[in-house]
Amino acid sequence: MIARACAWSVALAMVVAHVSTVQIARADAGVDGGAAYLAPPMEDRVTDPARKIGTEARRELGKMLEEVRRTTQVDVVAFVAPVGGDDLEKAGRAAYEGWQVGAGYDSGILLVLSDDGEASAVIVPDKEPALHRDEAVALEATMLKLSRQGQLAIAFRVAAKKIEEIHDARPVALRVLPRGTPDLGKAARYGTGVLFVVMAAGFLARRRRRLEPP
Amino acid sequence: MTNDNPPSRSLLTTLDLRLLWILVIGGALRLYRLSKPDNGLIFDEVYYVQDARVILGLPVHLDHLHPGAQSGFDPNSEHTPLAKLIMAASMHLLGPTAFAWRLPSVILGTLSIWLVYKLVQALGGTKGQAQVAAFVLAFDNLAFVHGRIATLDIYVMTFMLLGTWLHVSRRYELAGIGFGLATLCKLNGLFGVAAIVLFEAGSLLGGKKPAALLRSLEPLFVMVAVYVAFTFCALGALDAAWTSFRSPIDHLIHIVRFGASLTQKAPDGASSTPLQWLLNDGNFEYLSVRVTSSGATKTTVLFRGAMTEYVIFAAPFALAAAAQRAWHGSRHGRLAVCLFIANYLPLCLAWYGASRTSYIYYFLQCLPAIALAIALAAPMVPRVMRIAFVLAVLFSFWMWFPLRR
């Protein structure tokens, strides 16, 4: 009996240990099986855990992004991610959702560069993006060109400027709202009432006129 | 050879040329550069033009719209829908332009001048008195500005005047419909009915016998019955077709609750108290355009929410004279006082009793009462003062004309 309990306990402990090990390993790798990425805490408008951008440049960039947000109502955030290659897009998307970029604004854009400067990504929401796909791709190429030269801060600044230009050139977004369904039957019933009241009022007014002394 | 035919009154002999001038000039000034400033919305047009666009199913910005707004429905549920539907109809016919959404206001603003003229005549006033009343409404700044921008207030004022004129002209049933139209534009149209109730109650003060009393009250009963039935049915029809309300009662409760929720402890920004309006205080800019050229700044457009000073400062004296005349049995005086009390007192009670937010343009509905009172008082003052008053009003009108070079 005791031996059986011990055996079950050992088995259970092994399962727990396995699950914990896998979790820790995935977190260390930064990417969870290609799906989940633990984004670092957001640092104002420029998140750069590896400190690839100097303090002054980061502060200036933050001010510029804040100004773009104010004028365009598009929440633009910069991120220097500690991953590269194909994982950059996934890391960017996880950060976009984790930091709730765009919440409270018309839209949001996350500009991502890998810390080695060899990859770039522009993350926009699927619904009502501030940039079309081709505009985002062009922006990624522009950023990549500069980041490969080690100019990460300038890459972000150029991208922010471009976003502002695209926004200004675009006509203000107008939307047609979903159509409401009127209750025409009810409207007709009330309308009949209106017709009746108007006719009765007209008839009574004429009758009164006729009966009045000249 | 003699002509046995009775002499017929030709149109020219019955036409009042001065009224015609006031109407033509008043209407033309309301139409002058109506669509200016280009693409600019003046004051509350940001709400009502947006509403008209939603009603027409046109693309809109999402500003000033609640999340559940639906195309084809009036999204502005805090007011009854008729005025916005008229704006939408004009935009449907003429295109979604500033000219189209402001044109109904011009028509109604000009119509109100004619109505106040007819009202004075129906009250037994002279042609001259009727001309004075028409002049005041044509050239007062607040009536003029609202007579050329797409807001609800000119609709209410004009339909209320229509109802009042019809009632005074003993077309009580049609008066009920006139007041109903005012209420379908904004709930404040109800104040017009309240004014007539006061007016008729005033005529009963003589101590009549019960049978005679009932007979005297018959016109009032008829008017109120038609008003209630028409407003209920018409609001029901408009709500079912253009709003998400399926009962007019629900809509009216919503309007009252929403209105009661707009409170503030002290006036700030554009808001003001009803007592301030009597001093023309609490006025504010509806829209201003300033152009800087060669280092100098010039105001090219200035729409201002304010009465003409000479009209508002004459109002207390004119109303006092009207009250004195009413005391001596003048229907003209009684109507001026009743219209003023019914339109002004509820706003005072709402502000001082429930801290309801108030704005100076709410006073627009009191202007016909002031025009009536000034018309009544006009013959009491020397001719030179009358001329001075007319010139002063015209001077103020010119000074505050919204579109400058």
Residue in B192, B175, B231 with CA at minimum distance from that of residue A202: B175
Model confidence band, residue B199 (pLDDT cutoffs 50, 70, 90): very high
**What share of residues in chain A are helix, strand, coil (percent, to 5)?**
55, 15, 30
Cβ-Cβ contacts under 8 Å, B221 against chain A = none
CA distance B329 to chain A (A): 23
Least confident of A76-80, B13-17, B105-109, B160-164: B13-17
- Kindly report, residue by residue over A138-187, the tens digit of the pLDDT: 899 999 999 988 889 999 999 999 998 888 777 666 788 889 999 999 99
Q: Does A28 touch chain B (CB under 8 A)?
A: no
Chain A closest-CA separation from residue B244 CA (Å): 7
How many CB pairs below 8 A link A and B? 98
Say what the pLDDT of residue A3 is. Answer: 53
Whether omega for the bond prior to residue B37 falls within 30 degrees of 0, making it cis, is yes
Across the interface, of A176, A182, A198, the residue whose CB is closest to B241 is A182
Q: For the residues of B144-198, what is the DSSP string, one character each?
A: HHHTTS--SHHHHHHHHHHHHHHHHTT-HHHHHHHHHHHHHH-GGGHHHHHHHHH
**What's the pLDDT at A2?**
58
pLDDT in tens, B215-227: 888 899 999 999 9
CA distance B135 to B382: 18
Cα–Cα distance measured from residue B219 to residue B237, given in angstroms and rounded to the nearest whole number: 27
**pLDDT for res A27:** 47
pLDDT at position B265: 84
Asked if pLDDT for residue B369 goes beyond 70, the answer is yes
Any chain B CB within 8 A of the CB of A186?
yes
Partner-chain contact A179 B54, CB within 8 Å: no
Specify the higher pLDDT residue, B157 or A9. Answer: B157
Confidence band for B3, pLDDT divided at 50, 70 and 90: very low
Percent of chain B with pLDDT over 90: 78
- B48 has a pLDDT exceeding 80: yes
A184 interface with B at CB cutoff 8 Å: yes
Q: Which residue in the block uniquely carries the two structure tokens 């940039």? A: A131
Residue A41: pLDDT over 80: yes
**Confidence (pLDDT) at B250:** 96
| A123: β partners | A110
Contact A182 B240 (CB under 8 A): yes
Contacts of A171 in chain B (CB under 8 A): none
Report phi then psi at B236, rounded to 5. -60, -45
Q: Which of residues 140-179 of A touch B (CB under 8 A)?
A: 172-179
Chain B residues near any Cβ of chain A (below 8 Å)? 54, 57-62, 65, 69-73, 170-174, 176-177, 222, 226, 229-230, 232-234, 236-238, 240-242, 244, 246, 248
Distance CA A120, CA A91 (A): 11
Mean pLDDT to the nearest integer, A42-52: 88
Q: pLDDT tens across A118-143, in order?
A: 899 999 888 778 888 888 888 999 99
* Distance (Å, whole) CA A147 – CA A142: 9
Q: Do A177 and B71 touch (CB under 8 A)?
A: yes
User: Does A24 have pLDDT greater than 70?
Assistant: no
**ipTM score of complex:** 0.86
Q: Which residues pair with A37 in a beta bridge?
A: A31
8 Å CB contact of B173 and A182: no
CA distance B256 to B53: 25
CA–CA distance, B300 with A2 (Å, rounded to integer): 96
Instruction: Report pLDDT digits (tens) over B147-166.
Output: 999 999 999 999 999 999 99
Instruction: Give the rounded distance of the alpha carbon of A200 from its chain centre.
Output: 60
pLDDT tens-digit series, residues A58-99: 888 988 898 888 777 788 999 999 888 878 888 888 889 888
> B76 in helix, strand or coil?
coil
Mean pLDDT of chain B: 91
Least confident of A171-175, B112-116, B212-216: A171-175
Confidence at residue A32, expressed as pLDDT on a 0 to 100 scale: 44
pTM, entire model: 0.74
Confidence band for B68, pLDDT divided at 50, 70 and 90: confident
Q: How confident is the model at residue A1 (pLDDT cuts 50, 70, 90)?
A: low
Tell whether A4 lies on the interface with B, counting CB pairs under 8 A. Answer: no
What per-residue confidence (pLDDT) applies to A6? 55
**Which residue of chain B is at minimal alpha-carbon distance from A171?**
B61
pLDDT tens digits for range B309-327: 999 999 999 999 999 999 9
